[in-house]
Structure 1
Amino acid sequence: MEHAPQGRPVDLVAALARARSPERPGPDTPAGPAVRAWPGPSRQIPEADGEDLDLRALLRLSLAASDASGRLRPASSAGALHPVDAELVVGTGCSLPPGRYGYDPLRHHVHRLGGPPEGTPPGVSAELSVTARRTVSHYGHRAWPLLLLDTGHAAAALFLAARALGAGEAEVRLDGLAESPLAAVFMVPPRGQDPVRPRGGTHRRRPSTSVPAPAELLARRSDPPPLPGTPPPDALRAVLTTAVRVSVGDLHWCVAVGAPRPGLLELAPDGTTLRRRAAGEARPTLAAWAAGQAWIAEAGAVLLAHGCPADADAPRIRRTHLRAGFAVHLAHATARRHGLTARPVGSWQQADLGAALGAAPGRDWIVHGLALGTRHADEENTT
């Protein structure tokens, strides 16, 4: 069972089925504090000494708020509500003394919660959980898939920040087996101490991606709609390739494009060329499925992660949505590197893509999306 803000258990299978239904959320409710109430006094994160992993820079590039409201952060979040909380298990070789810490992204401080667990390896493990109330306050019964997607985005932001700081490949746990933490990202010091995996979780090494510059991570934003302009084939291929390469198992990927040849494109088996999966204009239907966001019908293209059948159990639901959020975040970074505008789309109702394409119903639902374009909204308004 998952847990509601008041501690009541939530049946994740039933929650996803309801989130996929046409039922509309009720009125907004209070979101509560923007930061988890960590116990004890807060403390600044010191500068890194020598070859230690710079946790202050790592968190600044991945989870820290850059405005007083807390809405603007390097990781995407539905409604900019940011429900993901990070607890740090710090070993040697880091800019904080070994121990367990709660992170405050608004003050960019930490709260020491205790000493490190026995056997903590060098480096840091960021354990990600959620305060569901923040997202439930606006999205109501549609919140749970969004909470999982947001956690995947936060894990990807940590992954990219580690690469930008030269910490090498991070170990990312997105297996969906645990209710709390939902995900964990383990990062080693740049000097390359032996990356022994933390106890109590299965971690998987993710394929390499391009090393981003710190400024690139801080500049990542979800572009406001509309997102006009059809991306060129090489950019679409790069975005699709990133999503396919960094997600495993349950997810499939395609991209909806418009004129002159509207349809759904996917990567061919050779992994380097695009092929047509289906013909016809899909974007108006996607707009209706995506909580009625009409602007999606005019987006240049829409990347789609699909899978997670109606009979999926809770671990599969968690795993699929976590991996979708992770992959869309990295695809977003690739899109920006190719000069595209991009905006994640997380809320989908009645989006049974498989049934729409003539397959058995209930087997192939849209899980996440990324709207793409070549021009910003302000440019569109001046043309």
Structure 2
Amino acid sequence: MQHAREDGPPDLVAALARARSPERPGPDTPAGGAVRAWPGPPVPFPKAVPAGLDLHLLLRLSLAASDDSGRLRPTPSAGALHPVDTELTVGAGCSLPPGRYGYDPLRHRVHRLDRQPPGTPPGVTAELSVTAQRTVSHYGHRARPLLLLDTGHAAAALYLAARALGVSEPEVRMDGRAENPLAAVHIPPPDRRDRARPADSARVPEPSEAPPTPAELLARRSTPPPLAGTPSQDALRAVLATAARASTGDVRWCAAVGPPRPGLMEPAADGAALRQCAAGDARPTLAAWAAGQAWIADAGAVLLAHGCPADADAPHIRRAHLRAGFAVHLAHVTARRHGLTARPVGSWQQADLGAALGAAPGRDWVVHALALGTRHADEENTT
């Protein structure tokens, strides 16, 4: 079986339907370069200016690789393939001179592409697109939703890095209208609230928790399985609340938990407690739906983003997956703050959650997930 070509404009509706099917990908193909081949020589980051936006630190906290292979980065990616490419439009108040740059996360350098466009606001705008071949090389026809989820995670990593640097209102565009760029994040200089917002940008609802610290962002990693141990109700409620705020209604959220009272939990109407919306242990079914990852059946809990019906158009599909990736990334940080282990799960086949619960088929699909536990794998192996 040959991988479907993903180098041209995709029919996203057909691509998602095929990705959701039980069809298996073919053999791996070459992934190509780990970063885009930006023109011109690499440029190191200058020293940060007083009261300016430190782009060196912003990108180190969000997108930069910390190992020679390029796989280890602060933002998760399906198969650690990292398909997201970043172009920066730099305005006044930044540590780089104004202009357009391509970012190389392996060498943590930029390549100057052009001068800044007229009307560029202060700060930096990071435009996120993808080199699909990197993900297609392993996941084949299942790659398209993973590319969107990865982009949402990258947007969230930039958002959190900006918050850690004292920016109160990073502006995120994930409206789903465009294939390139898929998302954009505008970050003004710290404590500067510029009223000239980029077109189609939106403010993320203000988080209830304190901004993350740089150390928190550099330390976050996806926990390898197993993820045993059921989270407390307080921790699970906090993680669900973070995800729901961050996705602004494009997907809905629940969590599958095991014994002693297995079922699907969702926030109650007042948000102060959780209620069971379905009885029974869903985790074994989720393990089968998630490309047969058997360890999910024993996870402490599985946070689920669901929605995006089968008849959704391309903008809806892009928006739902981008915002689900964004929300799971923020929920991952909340989970770590509550002492939980966590691992995003992005590949889902035949995961028609609504139909499994007795509703009409094709209306309510699993889009993304975050597996949760209370014990690390090394702790589990010693018990």
Q: TM-score, normalised by structure 1?
A: 0.97
Alpha-carbon distance between aligned partners in 2 of 1:6 and 1:139, rounded to the nearest angstrom: 11
Is 1:53 paired with 2:53? yes
Q: CA deviation at 1:157?
A: 0.2
**What's 1:303 paired with?**
303
Q: Distance in 2 between matches of 1:9 and 1:87?
A: 20
- State whether residues 87 and 100 of structure 1, in contact with CA within 8 Å, keep that contact through their aligned partners in structure 2: yes
In structure 2, distance between residues paired with 1:283 and 1:351: 12
CA distance in 1, matches of 2:369, 2:13: 21
Q: Which residue of 2 aligns with 1:279?
A: 279
Q: Which residue of 2 aligns with 1:208?
A: 206
Q: Structure 2: how far apart are the matches of 1:77 and 1:123?
A: 27
Identity %: 78
Distance 1:7 1:284 in 2: 35
More displaced, 201-210 or 21-30?
Answer: 201-210
The residue that corresponds to 2:320 in the other structure is 320
1:288 matched residue in structure 2: 288
Match of 1:265 in 2: 265
Secondary structure of the residue aligned to 1:103 is strand
User: The residue matched to 1:25 in structure 2 has which SS?
Assistant: coil
Q: CA deviation at 1:378?
A: 1.1
Give the Å deviation of 1:167: 1.6
Find the counterpart in structure 1 of residue 372 from structure 2: 372
Aligned equivalents of 1:168 and 1:97: distance in 2? 23
> 1:90-169 counterparts in 2 under 5 A?
90-169=90-169
How far 1:271 sits from its partner (Å)? 1.4
Q: Which amino acid aligns with 1:325?
A: G
Query: How far apart are 1:249 and its partner, in Å?
Result: 2.9
Shift, 1:246, TM fit: 1.1
Between the aligned partners of 2:308 and 2:7, the Cα distance in structure 1 is: 26
Shift of 1:272: 1.7
1:303-327 Cα deviation digits (max 9, x unpaired):
0000000000000000000000000
Displacement of 1:8 in angstroms is: 2.9
Q: Matches of 1:89 and 1:100 in 2, distance apart? A: 5
Match runs of 1:60-79 below 5 Å: 60-79=60-79
| CA–CA separation in structure 1 for the residues paired with 2:249 and 2:51 | 36
In the alignment, the residues of structure 2 paired with residue 8 and residue 123 of structure 1 have an alpha-carbon distance, to the nearest angstrom, of: 32
Please state how far the C-alpha of 1:354 moved relative to its aligned partner.
Answer: 0.3
Distance 2:293 2:240 in 1: 23
1:345 touches 1:368 (CA, 8 Å); kept in 2? yes
Cα shift at 1:5:
6.7
Output the CA distance in 2 between the equivalents of 1:145 and 1:153: 13
Question: 123-132 or 188-197, which moves further after superposition?
Answer: 188-197
- Tell me the SS of whatever aligns to 1:96: coil
Note if contact 1:252-1:305 (Cα within 8 Å) is conserved in structure 2.
yes
1:353 positional shift: 0.3
**Is this contact kept in 1: 2:7–2:132, CA < 8 A?**
no
SS of alignment partner, residue 111 of structure 1: strand
Deviations 1:288-338 (A, max 9, x none): 000000000000000000000000000000000000000000000000000
**Aligned: 1:350 with 2:350:** yes
Q: Which moved more, 1:347-356 or 1:241-250?
A: 241-250
Q: 1:6 to 1:119 in 2, by over 3 A?
A: same
- The residue aligned with 1:82 is 82
Can you give the 5+ residue segments of structure 1 that lack an aligned partner in the other structure?
A: none
Separation (CA, whole Å) in 1 of partners of 2:6 and 2:275: 48
Partners of 1:131 and 1:256 in 2: how far apart? Answer: 33
Structure 1 residue 123: deviation in Å? 0.6
> Would the alpha carbon gap of residues 88 and 5 (structure 1) be closer, same or farther in structure 2, given more than 3 Å must change?
farther
Alignment CA distance shift 1:62-1:5 (3 Å):
farther
Tell me which moved more, 247-256 or 316-325.
247-256
> Across the two proteins, how many residue pairs are aligned to each other?
378
AA aligned to 1:206 is: V
CA distance in 1, matches of 2:86, 2:23: 32
Structure 2: tracts of 5 or more residues without a match: none
What's 1:30 paired with?
30
Q: Quick check: 1:5–1:131 contact (8 Å CA) kept in 2?
A: no
CA contact under 8 A between 1:43 and 1:110: conserved in structure 2?
yes
Encode CA deviations 1:148-182: one digit per residue, 9 max, x unaligned: 00000000000000000002221000100011000
Native 8 Å contact 2:171 2:202 kept in 1 = yes
RMSD across aligned positions (CA) = 1.0
Pairs within 5 Å for 1:218-229: 218-229=218-229
Equivalent residue of 2:363, what SS? Answer: coil
Q: Secondary structure at the match of 2:333?
A: helix
- Aligned AA for 2:249? G
Q: Stretches of 4+ moved more than 6 A in 1?
A: none
CA-CA distance at 1:10 after TM superposition: 1.6
